[in-house]
């Protein structure tokens, strides 16, 4: 695979990300995601189209080509493997690994990638619960609902927590709601922005009850709902 600049890789990753939730990836959505001006997005998208990594059509927005998508997923594999390695092998707290991985993802060699993967026993999820793409770059993005959408009486397991806000991760970690933790919803206030109260069913804080703030509950995704 040819080497691309970190800027090219960050754009491809952003196009992939925005494309997961929006039908059309517009230049303004990319400008917002990357915190740059729409004019610089337009310039970069032209460049990426010239490299055959994206197509850009007026009514369909920006779309990754097969080659562009492979690069995006390779960078995501690096990112999530590095986060897992920093957390599990080096003990870096889960709220600090994302910022480090944002840099390492661009420089990791294929050899180091393979060694990290083997040293960790081929992990399938990063410390925030997100799936790690396979070595053949298969990535199945789960469609887990947020905690904010659950009703009282429901039992579920924490699947994934958004990884890019360290304050949010410290808050959720302080409540013991790490991925894999089972809990029961004690009360929920779905039609206002009130908290969701949960009782933990396992983990270090098993039995504890916590009111989870609405914003946090919107960024905490759940699975195995019963």
Binding to Zn ion by CB under 5 A, coded x per residue (else -) over 156-185, reads -------x----------------------
Whole-angstrom CA distances from 183 to 5, 84, 92, 133, 226 are 43, 24, 26, 27, 11
Distance in angstroms (rounded) separating the CA atoms of residues 193 and 208: 22
Residue with the CB atom nearest Zn ion in the bound state? 98
One DSSP character per residue, 115-164 reads: HHHHHTTS-SB-TTSPBPPPTT-------PPBGGGPPTT-EEEEEEE-SS
The answer to whether residues 198 and 210 touch, using CB atoms and an 8 Å cutoff, is yes
Whole-angstrom CA distances from 122 to 92, 127, 132, 159, 223 are 19, 13, 9, 19, 22
Distance in angstroms (rounded) separating the CA atoms of residues 91 and 99: 15
Nearer to Zn ion, 99 or 114 (CB): 99
Q: How far is the CB of 76 from Zn ion (least distance, A)?
A: 9
Binding to Zn ion by CB under 5 A, coded x per residue (else -) over 79-98, reads -------------------x
Nearer to Zn ion, 74 or 163 (CB): 163
Q: List the structure tokens of 39.
A: 């004019």
Q: How far is the CB of 59 from Zn ion (least distance, A)?
A: 32
Nearer to Zn ion, 210 or 219 (CB): 219
Q: How far is the CB of 80 from Zn ion (least distance, A)?
A: 7
Q: Which of residues 124-163 bind Zn ion (CB under 5 A)?
A: 163
Nearer to Zn ion, 167 or 204 (CB): 167
Q: How far is the CB of 98 from Zn ion (least distance, A)?
A: 4
Distance in angstroms (rounded) separating the CA atoms of residues 74 and 136: 9
Say whether residue 105 binds Zn ion (CB under 5 A).
Answer: no
By CB under 5 A, the count of residues binding Zn ion is 2
Nearer to Zn ion, 10 or 163 (CB): 163
Q: How far is the CB of 15 from Zn ion (least distance, A)?
A: 17
Q: List the structure tokens of 77.
A: 């594999």
Nearer to Zn ion, 69 or 98 (CB): 98
Q: Which residues lie near Zn ion (CB under 5 A)? A: 98, 163
């Amino acid at each position: 695979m040819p080497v691309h600049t970190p800027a090219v890789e960050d754009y491809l990753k952003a196009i992939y990300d925005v494309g997961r939730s929006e039908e059309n990836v517009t230049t303004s959505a990319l400008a917002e995601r990357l915190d740059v001006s729409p004019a610089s997005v337009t310039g970069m998208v032209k460049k990426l189209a010239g490299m055959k990594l994206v197509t850009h059509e007026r009514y369909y927005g920006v779309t990754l080509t097969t080659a562009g998508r492979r690069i995006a997923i390779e960078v995501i594999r690096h990112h999530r493997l590095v986060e897992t390695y920093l957390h599990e092998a080096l003990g870096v707290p889960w709220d600090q690994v994302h910022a480090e991985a944002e840099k390492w993802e661009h420089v990791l060699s294929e050899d180091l990638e393979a060694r990290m993967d083997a040293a960790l026993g081929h992990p399938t999820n990063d410390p925030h619960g997100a799936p790690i793409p396979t070595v053949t770059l298969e990535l199945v993005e789960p469609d887990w609902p947020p905690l904010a959408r659950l009703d009282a009486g429901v039992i579920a397991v924490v699947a994934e927590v958004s990884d890019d806000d360290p304050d949010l991760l410290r808050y959720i970690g302080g409540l013991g709601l790490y991925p894999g933790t089972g809990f029961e919803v004690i009360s929920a206030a779905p039609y206002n922005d009130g908290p969701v109260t949960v009782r933990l069913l396992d983990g270090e804080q098993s039995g504890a009850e916590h009111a989870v703030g609405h914003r946090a509950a919107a960024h905490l995704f759940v699975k195995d709902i019963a």
